[in-house]
Amino acid sequence: MDFIEKNILDKKGFDNMALRNILYLDIEAINDYISQIDGYTYDEEIITSNSVDDKGGKAGIGFGKLTAEANLGKQNTNTTTKNVRITDSSKLDKVIKYLKNEDELKYYEEIDENIWQDIYRDDFLELLVTPGFSKIKEISNMAKNLNNLITAFQPYMSDDMIDSKTKEALSGFETISRINDTSMVSCVFNFENKKYPFIAELNTTFFKTDEENIKSQCYLLCKVQKKVEKGKSIELDEIFDNVKKLNLNREQKRKMPKDLSNPKELKDSIKGPAFVVTPIAIYR
Q: Where are the domains of the chain?
A: 105-283
CA distance 265 to 242: 20
Beta bridge partner(s), residue 189: 131, 198
Rounded CA separation 92/14 (Å):
9
**C-alpha distances in angstroms, 167 versus 117, 151, 159, 171, 182?**
49, 12, 14, 6, 22
pLDDT at 21: 96
Which pLDDT does position 199 carry in this prediction? 96
Query: Is this structure's pTM higher than 0.85?
Result: no
- Specify the pLDDT at position 61: 45
Q: Report the pLDDT value the prediction gives residue 226, as an integer from 0 to 100.
A: 97
Contact between 190 and 216 under an 8 Å Cβ cutoff? The reply is no
Residue 160: predicted pLDDT:
74
pLDDT at 280: 98
Measured distance CA(278)–CA(180) in Å, rounded: 19
Query: pLDDT below 50 — which residues of the chain?
Result: 1-15, 59-70, 239-240, 242-244, 246, 259-260, 262
